[in-house]
Amino acid sequence: MTSIKKSPQKLRRYTDLASGLHILRAKKITLLDPSRWDDGNDRMCMERYKEALELRTLLAICFADCKETYHHWRVFTVGASGVCFEFDRENLCESLSGLDGIRWRNVEYRKLDILRPSSKRWLVSDLPFLKRAPYEPEQELRIIYSSATEEVSAFDVPIEISWIKRVILSPWMPVALRQSVIETIRDIPGCRTLTVQSTSLVGGQLWRAKVLGAVVDGSQKR
């Protein structure tokens, strides 16, 4: 099995078009309450961390720390309205360093070996960054915000448009809609020169040309 390749200079945020327009117009990424996440085990880890530290607020946002995959499009976006932002890793992470209450780490994927004597201990401080091994293809980097004194439903991290290397539209967005979406994005202040394009993941012309031009050994023909 081929391992999923890291993307050392980029972090990818897969989301929906509405959230994407918010990122561009407000020039911020927004951390939200994880209590409605799909993975119940993940929710419980976050809840346990919040309870153990007696926090009033625990919020999070997730990025893919790997190259583009079909898995990410299917799991983290919704059909034709999906969008992926490629952020410059260095600029984004540097901006987090001076923010109170912020932590970020790559998620660690663990097997069900917690009862074995040799198993690595699970510390409370690790809980927001632990997931079960079957989720490893996500290759997630997670940012969390916590507060023991304030109760808020969202936390904004300011960004610069220049940190966004590309905006990639869903592979299932109808061709007839793409240009209008691209023009809408570029009409947002500061986004005129932003690279906005469709992915060729499910309809790549180069891949199709290679397949059509492939030489088939006569003994393999049916």
Strands 154-158 and 28-32: antiparallel
Model confidence at 141: pLDDT above 90: yes
Percent of all residues in the chain with a pLDDT value above 70, rounded to a whole number = 83
Q: What is the pTM of this model?
A: 0.85
Strands 82-88 and 10-16: antiparallel
Q: Which residues contact 45 (CB under 8 A, 6 or more apart)?
A: 127, 128, 130, 131
Percent of all residues in the chain with a pLDDT value above 90, rounded to a whole number = 72
Best mean pLDDT range from 107-116, 129-138, 183-192: 183-192
53-87 per-position pLDDT tens digit: 999 999 999 999 999 998 899 989 988 999 999 99
DSSP state of 79: G
The reported pLDDT for the residue numbered 219 is 53
SS3 content of the chain, % helix, strand, coil (to 5): 35, 25, 35
Q: Which residues contact 169 (CB under 8 A, 6 or more apart)?
A: 82, 83, 178, 181, 182, 196, 197, 198, 199
pLDDT band at 201 (very low <50, low <70, confident <90, very high): confident
Q: Which residues contact 32 (CB under 8 A, 6 or more apart)?
A: 59, 60, 61, 153, 154
